[in-house]
Amino acid sequence: MSSEKLPVELSKGVNGLEEIILREARGSSAEVYLYGGHVTSWKNEHGEELLFVSSKFSNHGPLQSHGFARNRFWSIGPDPPAFPKKFIHYEFRLRVALGLGGDLMLTSRIRNMNTDGKPFTFAFAYHTYFSVSDISATKCLENATRNLFWCSVDWIYLSAPTKIAILDHEKKNYFIYQILVIFAYIKMQKNIPESSLKCLSHFNSRSLVWNPWDKKAKALADFGDDEYKHMLCIEAATIEKPITLTPGEEWKGSQELCAVPPSYCGGLLDARKVLQCAEKMHY
């Protein structure tokens, strides 16, 4: 009997909640909970965890402030569970893929299927929490410009770069790249193949960098007092201006995360060389 693990497996996770485990041939993996569509784990081929999840993660907590989709059960396939009545005229889809080399790719689609002519307005964000060894020795890099963290941060970049890197000096194993892909509006038309759909407009995402630090961490009910030391949140979001879809329009957003080996210059991790390496390896 073969002991080889399946590339896609439905399993039970925290509190018996259903989760999907994705595995890549070289050893990378990802775990996605049907509760909220949460991606709770992303590991490289060495089994190192790249995402942060609080030890207080469960199917309880006041998550409504971040949208109804985060505390509802999702399903696989064409028969989703019932949404609140005010959302029955809209379609929400999430695609999670683990690419060759272990890249983690998320694609979200939201469609306005109203027949009464009413528009649908919403905001959107990928809340990505990265695992770091020590936040005080972690750097966030934008085109090799370094930001070192020493206090609570809540930054918003209105003109987000294509690539944002996180440098973990203690691990010195990997640069973690967040690729913020263009969001787009698509006009849906009947009896037209999806490959032929016309993209009406594009716009770049905004980025938010967040860490609560010690005082704010203690005030959060669903966050450990000292867990701020081992996480950094970088969000790709539409936060400056809400998105409005007219009936028949669809919105699509995607994000890709990848990890590349570090480069050294004079014995130190060299951000510029890693940025160049990522450009050649992936894009």
pLDDT truncated to tens, each residue of the chain (283 aa)?
456 788 999 999 888 999 999 999 999 999 999 988 899 999 988 898 989 988 875 544 444 556 667 777 888 876 666 666 666 688 888 899 998 888 898 888 888 888 888 899 988 888 888 888 888 877 776 554 455 455 556 666 666 666 677 777 676 555 555 444 444 545 444 444 444 344 344 445 577 788 888 888 888 887 888 998 888 888 888 777 788 888 888 888 888 887 766 554 444 555 555 555 555 544 4
Q: What is the CATH number of the domain that holds 247?
A: 2.70.98.10
Nearest CA-CA partner of 164 in 232, 213, 230, 263: 232
Q: Is residue 268 part of a domain?
A: yes
Q: What does the angle CA 150 – CA 154 – CA 159 come to, to the nearest 5 degrees?
A: 115
Segment 206-254, tens digit of pLDDT: 777 888 888 888 888 878 889 988 888 888 887 777 888 888 888 888 8
Triad 154, 244, 64: Cα angle to 5°: 50
pTM: 0.78
Is the residue at 11 inside a domain?
no
Q: Looking at the domain assignment, is residue 109 inside a domain?
A: yes
Cα separation, 43 vs 53, whole angstroms = 13
Which is nearest to 247 in space by CA: 113, 151, 69? 113
Domain, as residue range, for 211: 90-282
Distance CA 43, CA 27 (A): 8
Residue 267 domain-assigned?
yes
Among residues 40, 51, 30, 103, the alpha carbon closest in space to that of 258 is found at 103
Known catalytic residues? 127, 235
271 belongs to a structural domain: yes
Query: Residue 73: inside a domain, yes or no?
Result: no
- Residues ≥6 apart with Cβ < 8 Å to 135: 149, 211, 228, 229, 230, 231, 232
Query: How many domains in the chain?
Result: 1
